[in-house]
Amino acid sequence: MVPLKGWRAKGHEIIFEADTRAGKLFDILLIGCILASVITVCLDSVRGYREAYGAFFLGLEWLFTLLFTVEYVLRILCTANPWGYVRSFFGVIDLLAILPSYLSLVFPGTQYLVVFRVFRVLRIFRVLKLVPYVSESTVLWRALIASRRKVTVFLFAVLTMVILLGALIYLIEGEENGFTSIPRSIYWAIVTLTTVGYGDLSPKTNLGQTLAAFAMILGYAIIAVPTGIVTVEMTRAQNSKVTTQVCPNCSREGHDSDAEYCKFCGSSLEFPIEKDGGDIGDARGSA
Amino acid sequence: MVPLKGWRAKGHEIIFEADTRAGKLFDILLIGCILASVITVCLDSVRGYREAYGAFFLGLEWLFTLLFTVEYVLRILCTANPWGYVRSFFGVIDLLAILPSYLSLVFPGTQYLVVFRVFRVLRIFRVLKLVPYVSESTVLWRALIASRRKVTVFLFAVLTMVILLGALIYLIEGEENGFTSIPRSIYWAIVTLTTVGYGDLSPKTNLGQTLAAFAMILGYAIIAVPTGIVTVEMTRAQNSKVTTQVCPNCSREGHDSDAEYCKFCGSSLEFPIEKDGGDIGDARGSA
Amino acid sequence: MVPLKGWRAKGHEIIFEADTRAGKLFDILLIGCILASVITVCLDSVRGYREAYGAFFLGLEWLFTLLFTVEYVLRILCTANPWGYVRSFFGVIDLLAILPSYLSLVFPGTQYLVVFRVFRVLRIFRVLKLVPYVSESTVLWRALIASRRKVTVFLFAVLTMVILLGALIYLIEGEENGFTSIPRSIYWAIVTLTTVGYGDLSPKTNLGQTLAAFAMILGYAIIAVPTGIVTVEMTRAQNSKVTTQVCPNCSREGHDSDAEYCKFCGSSLEFPIEKDGGDIGDARGSA
Amino acid sequence: MVPLKGWRAKGHEIIFEADTRAGKLFDILLIGCILASVITVCLDSVRGYREAYGAFFLGLEWLFTLLFTVEYVLRILCTANPWGYVRSFFGVIDLLAILPSYLSLVFPGTQYLVVFRVFRVLRIFRVLKLVPYVSESTVLWRALIASRRKVTVFLFAVLTMVILLGALIYLIEGEENGFTSIPRSIYWAIVTLTTVGYGDLSPKTNLGQTLAAFAMILGYAIIAVPTGIVTVEMTRAQNSKVTTQVCPNCSREGHDSDAEYCKFCGSSLEFPIEKDGGDIGDARGSA
């Protein structure tokens, strides 16, 4: 990849990085615009405000759209790998943030989709560059990633349950009590099992209420499962952050805090002047 | 047991196993049919679709029923132990999947019970044969099994509480506020304690609302119990997956699954023919 | 205390103990009567059944009351320490189980309080005498006892919050939106914070909905606290069940599983031929 | 800072400390007044009581206000560092407790804000001076403080989700189904995601119900996250109360609070002047 030169290098520094004064200012201004844009869309959806300031909101919205379009083009120009940026997570988000406005010219109503811009606020983590927050969100993210398989198995089991509960309540309550179809009854089962309980659909017959009571207690019991999964994975992700000991022989990490010998090559981990205090210092240093 | 020969051996390989190309294809087609069948039943229950495509859905439903009937018969023929299959978990499910259609000829309305077919989708885990998923669901299952006694004790305590709360609210609110009987009041107590809160029944008097507030805070506190139970058991089930390796030198346990050397004495853990794959194989074998 | 003799000793064996054949039979019959009595009360509260079988239910109820009265008198007679029994947990429950029927002669309506009899079913644990269940409920109970102080602090914080939220929503929404007084608004705050959400009271104004949204997210965050408390205590209660190692010198318990020396007197814990396997054997033996 | 003398020293002892007989009595009387004041405000907000005893409640309220005003002035007089008290947590609370009454002379309606007095009840922990409670609330507090960053990241993610869900449901359901604006739709998203589920707003269209079902399952899954966070931090806070002792011989940590000898090398842990009491004292000092 050819390194960027001249104004493109300068632009890259301002737009993509947040270490320099100019780069930080750019990111803060950008986040301000994003938030202002999201708030504009929200206010514009309130009938009273729309009738009073509709034209003003529309102008503001197009101003932000143009700004973000210019920014998007600049981002493509100021990177050595434009295609890589366009396909990246933030590249897609940046495109989604400007598309709805242009689409609304063709399909009226879609302009509210610009609230997807709120995703852009995730850049805030980049600006803050607060190591602790990055580290904490890494722990959370790693725990969620590590538990994805268990959560998949769990969600599959829940899905099977709500389909069965939905079909049963449909047979028991029937259309005269509001359970007009199996899909709608499945919706009721989800509302009940997740303990949301709107009450827009609720069983009227004795048998239906018995089934509902059963479903609630079931939901009460299985809500424990995802919590257990995430807690276990979070404990592990948390702990894995602490074991910063590196084997002096094979340089591999991931040793338990009570390990005295490297579990990969078998040499003593105690060779360096590593004490309990040192361990804590390392953890702090890498946090 | 006499080993199967000829077309029965071939059929067993295709129908019961998923290792060969034909077996995998069969299972994927089967799961496709199951899902299509469940979706057909769901759509058929929507009045609009039923009025428009009722005959088509009926034909489709009978097609699937015939297919599953043929499959059920083949499964019985192609196994060395037919009675064992019939009484197995999947054997019962397979029968339940075809019975409702035939029953609906005698008792109209029962055809919706074919949604029990959704249970057949559990076979999907067989097809995927993804070791991680098998292992993860084993951990979940083991945690639930290990916590069944605590959950029993807990559910018994909850049942005692909801009966008492139901009787009290019945005395306090009475029939004029919708609490027409103790069983219905118990239903309210379950709706409240599990934090579902439909709102179809809600206390109107001051004393009733005080009792409800008490019940809610109680429910809020005891929701912690099943979560605690499952988390503790899941931690243990998770750990028990890890602590199977014993050091051949110092005989101490507690090694990670990626450990190659004992973390206590530094000698190689690989001396026996125990490998990572073997560990997973065990888990699969005992699942 | 003078040991019981003659029929009183025999009666004590039958009524209070569950080890002999007669004792077990007595307890099973008793639990049958209790459940039948509770079901009778529940059915009697349903208008339709009461109108049809009211007299039958009344007779049945008085039959059970007389049986339980005889049993209560026998329990007092057949124990060496009658006063101790009367003041014990089960003594109070047994009295509460028969009082409402007699009270209903004076104060009509109180007969429904006999559902307190359901508490008597707790005796079932005595009959089952299933060691695992006793052990499991001990772990649950110990975890709850150990967490009582944290839960007290937590409930106190929650109470402060709901009073403040209730007062604020009362000021914001006012009587015209159903928040007719601060106590009723506190009831709403509890309904919201515990995520029950009946919907009988819900904010109508923008400011009120903003406050409600804030309260919900608060409730969502603090629901984690009791769960965390109970999980931590349950892990500890669970672990404390495992450390059955007794110091060979000072005979005190409570050592960690990785302890090699007694933490109370400093002598080696390894003196007996206690191995990892032995530890597990002990745990199983005492479970 | 000049030490207090004469009546100011005596006053400080009575008002600020709870170790002497007079100091304890003062605090108990104070808490009684606070609770009576809060109850008065609550009762005064009930229309029936206000119409009957309005004048009496008003008099009572002003009596408490004058008492608390006198107490506030005395607190300022009897401390060596008045400005420090005024800016402290309890100083602000004490001021907030008397301000609303005076403000209500100018702005009618604000008198209900005196319920903020309930915060003053937090002083109860000072009176109890029960070390266990102080210690327990320290553990809870430390766990919340330690998890504040993870909770911030989590709340940020939840906020992004509810804005997106709100915008989507607004587009799908529209104003005719009650979703009159994006802010109101965001309120619905929060009600749904936190599983409160009032039912004042609920989707009517098929697509809306599908989105709602998706949101509920999402909420069901992510409710596990704060629980996991707090459980992990609470486990750590709990353990950190324990792991302060270091063996003077082998320098290893991880001893229980009741340990008297090192569990790794068997030497006495009591060599330094570190006792159990000192541990608790530290906790109190840093609280």
The confidence band for C83, taking pLDDT boundaries of 50, 70 and 90, is confident
Give this prediction's pTM: 0.78
Alpha carbon separation from A282 to B210, C141, D245 (Å, rounded) = 53, 41, 21
Mind telling me how many Å the CA of B55 is from chain A's nearest CA? 18
CA dihedral A278, A280, A285, A287 (to 10 degrees): 160
Q: Sorting pLDDT into bands at 50, 70 and 90, what band is A275?
A: very low
Question: Which residues of chain D have a pLDDT value below 70?
Answer: 1-4, 18, 109-137, 238-287
Check CB contact under 8 Å for B133 and A153: yes
Helical H runs in chain B?
6-16, 21-44, 47-77, 82-87, 89-106, 124-128, 131-146, 148-173, 182-193, 206-222, 224-240, 276-286
ipTM for the predicted complex: 0.75
C-alpha triplet B208, B210, B213: angle, nearest 5° = 110
Cβ atoms B184, A183 nearer than 8 A? no
Residue A261, classed as helix, strand or coil, is: strand
Chain D residues with beta carbon closer than 8 angstroms to that of B199: 198-199
pLDDT in the model for residue A252: 59
pLDDT tens per residue across span C140-198: 777 777 777 777 778 878 888 888 888 889 888 888 888 988 889 999 999 998 888 88
Compute the distance between CA of residue D284 and CA of residue D278 in angstroms, rounded to an integer.
Answer: 10
pLDDT at residue D286, rounded to an integer = 35
Does B232 touch chain C if contact means CB atoms closer than 8 Å?
A: yes
Q: Please indicate if any CB of chain A lies within 8 Å of the CB of D245.
A: no
User: Which residues does chain D have within 8 Å of residue B198's beta carbon, measured at their own beta carbons?
Assistant: 199
Label residue C269 by pLDDT band (50, 70, 90): low
> Which whole number is the average pLDDT over B49-65?
87
Query: Is B199's CB within 8 Å of D199's CB?
Result: yes
Categorize the per-residue pLDDT at A245 as very low, low, confident or very high, splitting at 50, 70 and 90.
Answer: low
pLDDT recorded at residue C211: 92
pLDDT tens profile A63-85: 988 898 898 898 888 888 888 88
For D146-237, CATH gives 1.10.287.70
Q: What is the pLDDT of residue A132?
A: 57
| CATH no., domain B7-128 | 1.20.120.350
Which amino acid, residue C205?
T
State mean pLDDT over B267-271: 59
Average pLDDT over chain A reads 75
Degrees (nearest 5) of the Cα angle A230, A231, A237? 85
Mean of the per-residue pLDDT values for chain C?
Answer: 75
Nearest-CB residue to A197 (from C197, C227, C231):
C197
pLDDT for the residue numbered B212: 92
Q: Is B275 helix (H, G, I), strand (E, B) or coil?
A: coil
**Closest Cα in chain D, distance from residue B171 (Å):** 24
Greater confidence (B143 vs C84) lies with: C84
pLDDT of residue C195: 85
Interface chains of chain B (3 or more CB pairs under 8 Å):
A, C, D
- pLDDT the model gives residue D243: 41
Window 199-228 of B: residues touching D by CB (8 A cutoff) are: 199, 227
Mutate to test the interface with C, among D34, D40, D41, D45 (most CBs of C within 10 A): D45
CB contact under 8 A, A195 and C198: no
Assign B282 a pLDDT band (cuts: 50, 70, 90): very low
Residue B35 CB contacts under 8 Å (≥ 6 apart), including other chains: B121
- Once rounded to an integer, what is the mean pLDDT over residues C221-240? 75
Dist. CA A263–CA A266, nearest whole Å:
6
Main-chain dihedrals φ then ψ at residue C195, nearest 5 degrees: 60, 25
Average pLDDT over residues A129-141: 62
> C-alpha distances in angstroms, C176 versus B202, B205, C169, C179, D56?
20, 19, 12, 7, 25
3-state SS class at C241 = helix
Interface partners of D (3+ CB pairs, < 8 Å)?
A: A, B, C
Q: How far is B80 from chain C (nearest CA, A)?
A: 39
Q: Do C146-237 and C7-128 fall under one CATH topology?
A: no
D180 touches chain A (CB under 8 A): yes
pLDDT over threshold 60, residue A276: no
Cα gap A150→D260, rounded to integer Å: 43
- Give yes or no for residue C283 having a pLDDT over 70: no
- Among candidates C219, C159, A38, which has minimal Cα distance to D191? C219
Residues 6+ apart with CB under 8 A from B204: B173, B177
How many angstroms separate the CA atoms of D60 and D54, rounded? 10
Return d(Cα D17, Cα A151) in angstroms, integer: 53
Domain boundaries, chain B: 7-128, 146-237
pLDDT tens across B198-232, in order? 888 889 888 999 999 999 988 877 777 878 887 88
- Minimum mean pLDDT range among A146-150, C217-221, D204-208, D276-280: D276-280
Q: C112 versus D6: which is more confidently predicted? A: D6
Closest Cα in chain C to B155: C137
CB distance B122–A160 less than 8 Å? yes
pLDDT at C131 over 60: no
% of chain C exceeding 70 in pLDDT: 69
Contacts of A46 in chain D (CB under 8 A): 180-183
Alpha carbon distance A108, D13 (integer Å): 73
**Which residue in the set D163, D209, D235 is minimally distant from A118, CB to CB?**
D163
In three state form, how does the secondary structure of chain D look? CCCCCHHHHHHHHHHHCCCCHHHHHHHHHHHHHHHHHHHHHHHHCCHHHHHHHHHHHHHHHHHHHHHHHHHHHHHHHCCCCHHHHHHCHHHHHHHHHHHHHHHHHHCCCHHHHHHHHHHHHHHHHHHHCCHHHHHHHHHHHHHHHHCHHHHHHHHHHHHHHHHHHHHHHHHHHCHHHCCCCHHHHHHHHHHHHCCCCCCCCCCCCHHHHHHHHHHHHHHHHHCHHHHHHHHHHHHHHHHHCCCCCCCCCCCCCCCCCCCCECCCCCCECCCCCCCHHHHHHHHHHHC
Q: Which residue has the tokens 């266990």?
A: D132
Q: How confident is the model at residue C132 (pLDDT cuts 50, 70, 90)?
A: low
Cα-Cα-Cα-Cα dihedral of D221, D222, D225, D226, to 10°?
A: -130
Among the residue ranges A143-152, A270-279, C116-125, the one predicted with the least confidence is A270-279
Going from the C-alpha of B208 to that of each of A241, C187, D167, D275, the distances in angstroms are 50, 11, 38, 51
Q: Would you state the pLDDT for residue C145?
A: 78
Q: When comparing pLDDT for A274 and D200, which is higher?
A: D200
Residue B158's Cβ-count burial label (10 Å; 0-12, 13-18, 19+) is buried
Residues 94-153 of A with CB under 8 A from D: 109, 112-113, 115-116, 118-119, 121-122, 132-133, 136-137, 139-140, 143-144, 151
Whole-angstrom distance, CA of residue B217 vs CA of residue D54:
32
Write the pLDDT tens digit of every residue in C42-58: 888 888 888 898 889 88
By residue count, chain D amounts to: 287
